[in-house]
Structure 1
Amino acid sequence: MLRHFAIVPAAGSGSRFGGETPKQYQSIAGRPMIYYSLAALCRSSRIDRVWVVLSPDDRWWRQYDWTSLGHKLETVYCGGASRSASVANGLHAAATAAHDDDWVLVHDAARPCLSQANLAALCDELADDPVGGILAVPLADTLKRADDQQRVARTESRHGLWQAQTPQMFRYGLLRRVLAEYADGTDEASAVEAAGLQPRLVRGDASNFKVTYPADLRQAEQILQGRARVDE
């Protein structure tokens, strides 16, 4: 029976976010943001093991107690200079457990609001898919192309455009192979696309957004607190 593993690359500094503390350790409701991303994966009965890939010189991780996340979580200090390098190093660390046909879900540390429903939908819809795929949402807003003076040059059609999210779910063997050959992409799906394959788009929702700026922390906190009240 095929298994599902998860990798969370968390070696970046989050430079667009600002401040001395890396973005993944910014506080949401008293916990570091990355806690919620990891908790969503560790809580799922579908996920067998979760690797969090940290920078070799990370000095924040050990300041927190992660024991509530349970036995699935494994920490490796092998983050690279880019996202793809960190994921590739995480895949190498998972080699003792994963087989080529097993599924790997790569999730952003800065997407703390991943729901169990979206995670289940991703696993279910891709169960028999020959390629794999990603959570994504169709673009709803009107798109404007800017010129050099930051004025509208033209309006772009949003027809057929989707905003990529994570997790991104592919076979272990495929993901190792394409990341070794196509390491310049911005996400795992772009490496799979560069190899000539077409990942499937699994519809998620806007709550699974990526925290990018300080103002986003409050929005994430509101979503998480709202879910906690529903679960009570």
Structure 2
Amino acid sequence: MPTRDSSPQSRFFALVPCAGTGSRAGTHGPKQYERIAGQPMVWHTLAAFGAVKRIARTLVVVAPGDGFFERNHTSALVVACGGATRAASVQNGLYELTRVGATQDDWVLVHDAARCLITPALIDSLIDACADDEVGGLLAHPLPDTLKREEGGRAVETVQREDKWLAQTPQMFRIGMLMEAIERAAGVVTDEASAIEAMGHRPLLVPGGSQNFKVTWPDDFALAEAVLKGRTR
């Protein structure tokens, strides 16, 4: 497989899918706009990317009719091109990045809006690890717990955890490669790395951390707030 080294012209863009409804979170509206530590969740996410000097531009994909950013100004580019699935939102966002000047060989870091505990240091570590890689990679965390397979509410098998990692975001790939991967996957993937894997590539696993979790369940809000407040002390 030919190596595609990062050239001085290659830039780094961030793409934040922000079109989900957060149905599992138990909130009255989209969970990414719920307040955590005094600010909407997505604000913490965007602040982390805004602090990384190498990010040329951040694009936020929202659902059509979403008026949050009309009421709340951000320096990020906000486009109402959210799709029915996360993959569709990412695909639409990639096309928008090319429309505003990103090239096929530029890098994109796709990050969940609800992973509001991401830090500039983690973003930089992903860029450092992947900028000269032929494929790209993702932040991930080694599985710390015993993993069970379930049938009918009962554990029927213990799955070996030694080689298992929890996929996180950002996930960083060349824009052209990722566009092709998602198109081939026809929207059936749950993250960018799985689309890249389906093309026969092997994304690099870059250690993230236990705090870089996705706010998904009602209890996660209090935990995220405690972490954010602890960082400001």
Alignment TM-score, normalising by the size of structure 2? 0.92
Name which of 112, 126, 145 aligns with 1:141.
Answer: 145
Name which of 169, 173, 178 aligns with 1:166.
Answer: 169
Alignment of 1:17-96 (within 5 A): 17-66=25-74, 71=75, 73-95=76-98, 96=100
Give the Cα–Cα distance (whole angstroms) in 2 for the partners of residues 204 and 11 of structure 1: 24
Give the Cα–Cα distance (whole angstroms) in 1 for the partners of residues 181 and 192 of structure 2: 9
Letter in 2 for 1:98: A
Alignment of 1:101-116 (within 5 A): 101-116=105-120
Give the Cα–Cα distance (whole angstroms) in 1 for the partners of residues 120 and 230 of structure 2: 14
- Give the 3-state SS of the residue equivalent to 1:16 in structure 2: helix
Q: Where does residue 179 of structure 1 map in the other structure? A: 182
The one-character-per-residue Cα deviations of 1:153-212 (angstroms, maximum 9, x if unpaired) are 121110100000000000011111111111210000011011111111001100100000
Give the Cα–Cα distance (whole angstroms) in 1 for the partners of residues 138 and 120 of structure 2: 15
Give the Cα–Cα distance (whole angstroms) in 1 for the partners of residues 226 and 55 of structure 2: 26
Runs of 4+ in 1 over 2 A off after TM superposition: 59-66
Give the Cα–Cα distance (whole angstroms) in 1 for the partners of residues 207 and 27 of structure 2: 34
Give the Cα–Cα distance (whole angstroms) in 2 for the partners of residues 136 and 48 of structure 1: 24
Q: Within the alignment, does 1:8 sit opposite 2:16 as a pair?
A: yes
Q: Where does residue 117 of structure 1 map in the other structure? A: 121
Give the unaligned 5+ runs of structure 2: 1-7
- Give the 3-state SS of the residue equivalent to 2:112 in structure 1: coil
The one-character-per-residue Cα deviations of 1:104-135 (angstroms, maximum 9, x if unpaired) are 00000000000122111100011110000000
- Give the 3-state SS of the residue equivalent to 1:8 in structure 2: strand
Query: CA RMSD of the aligned region, Å?
Result: 1.2
- Give the 3-state SS of the residue equivalent to 2:23 in structure 1: coil
Task: Give the fraction of aligned pairs with identical amino acids, expressed as a percent.
Answer: 50
- Give the 3-state SS of the residue equivalent to 2:56 in structure 1: strand
Give the unaligned 5+ runs of structure 1: none
The one-character-per-residue Cα deviations of 1:59-92 (angstroms, maximum 9, x if unpaired) are 33333343xxxx4x10101100011110111111
